[in-house]
Structure 1
Amino acid sequence: MTTTPATPAPPTGYDDLPRLMSLMTGDEKHGPAATSTLDALWVLYDRVLRVTPATAEAPDRDRFLLSKGHGPMAYYAVLAAKGFVPVGWLPGFGSYDSPLGHHPDRTLVPGAEIGSGSLGHGLPLAVGTALGLRARGPYGRPGRDPRVWVLVGDAELDEGSNHEAIAYAGAAGLDTLHTLVIDNSSATYALPGGIAARFAAAGWSTTTVDGRDHEALHAAFTAPHPGRPHAVVAAVEPAYV
């Protein structure tokens, strides 16, 4: 008797991510830039962000902005694992007619909130997003006002636009704003006290964690910070390793 092979279950877990990333090839994939974000992105989408494929346009969804847009393979892999984009799109990554470009395009990638390009834009856009959501007023359910998350690289903080965004957000008390900094020791200019001290000086709540430790990341992401924006510095292996 011939039996029909069972249809493989769709990818949904962290263990699926390396396989999904391996489907994306090409000269412009920026592998280290992608893998540096993998664990933090997974914990955010798996355990923290209040957004799903079904609620990707809902007014009260959480917003995630990928400012570190070069090397988005980990981002695309997580979106595929969570059902935002079809797994079948991944092998076409970076090709002429693929929705999955070398930088995400918000008009082509389901779930993407911004089109990233020049580094240094994401954090100012996140500040504007948080301000816009604040201006709309409460969403009717306590604790359900949309939260804004932005992922930046440590080298992005060399950009002056981020200096201004950090200073303004702290002074404005944008407590729905969260910045995740992936620190792979690629910044040009060292700062006294490290990256977290820079945010703290501007009035932010801050914490620094191992960027590969899922429980530490989750605790940092969910730490209370009333009246202040929150910055999580996730330290990973140096980019040149």
Structure 2
Amino acid sequence: MGRVARFEREFARAQATEVVDLPWGYALLQHDFPVSWAHNRLVVTAPVDAETAIATADLVLGGAGCRHRLVTYLDAAEGERAAPAFAAAGYGTHERLVTMVHGGGPVHGDRARVEALTFAELRPSLLADWRADFPDDPEADIEQLADRSLLAGRGAEVAFLGVRTPAGRVVARGELYRRDGVAQFENLITHPAHRGRGHARALLAEALARSAGDDVRFLVAEATGWPRGWYRTLGYLDRVEAHAFQRTPAACPSR
């Protein structure tokens, strides 16, 4: 898990335009993509009282012009202890995130249906999906949310994997990041009308095949979501839990 932690830290920092180091963690800022919450957040890596973390989020994220607040605790026990203070401070979303490592067994899926996509091929699907989630957002914000996927290439080797219809529409996709013998597969999505056809399994099988030579292969799942159980059936094992606290400027999903 030390290698996973190092991968995540270096991968995240490589995508930032500014990193603010703190005695108990660090803040990531991406000035070119201010609407991307994942790229503008605080990461708590050592014990600190929740009030200090909350005040620092206001100072750093607010000072950078961010309206949202996102604070991630990498230690599960510290996150649990901080939860009441974050709730009192208006952080309406508390997510438990589980890092899952693949145990090495085979995953069978129809890999022939999976393609490696260029970003230009993937981008229309990203734009359409984000527009569906945020129908009232300005076009510039939607473009930021789609184009932030390009940032991953600053910190790792990236493969955009997808399943397309004969007409060329991307109906399932995922992103594989590889660096220094560690591989992470994330953002696995199948459009609702195309679920139940084995696309997700095929994408996961392809990602594992492409990273077969890596020492560690992992992903991050919501602790309470159904995909966690599905990943377990495919050989992923629970390893560590983190906590993420979000305060949104309006009622809308995470981004």
Smaller-chain TM-score range?
0.3 to 0.5
Looking at both structures, which has the greater relative contact order when contacts are Cα pairs under 8 Å and sequence separation is at least 6? 2
Structure (1 or 2) with the greater strand fraction: 2
TM-score norm. by structure 2 comes to: 0.31
TM-score norm. by structure 1 comes to: 0.32
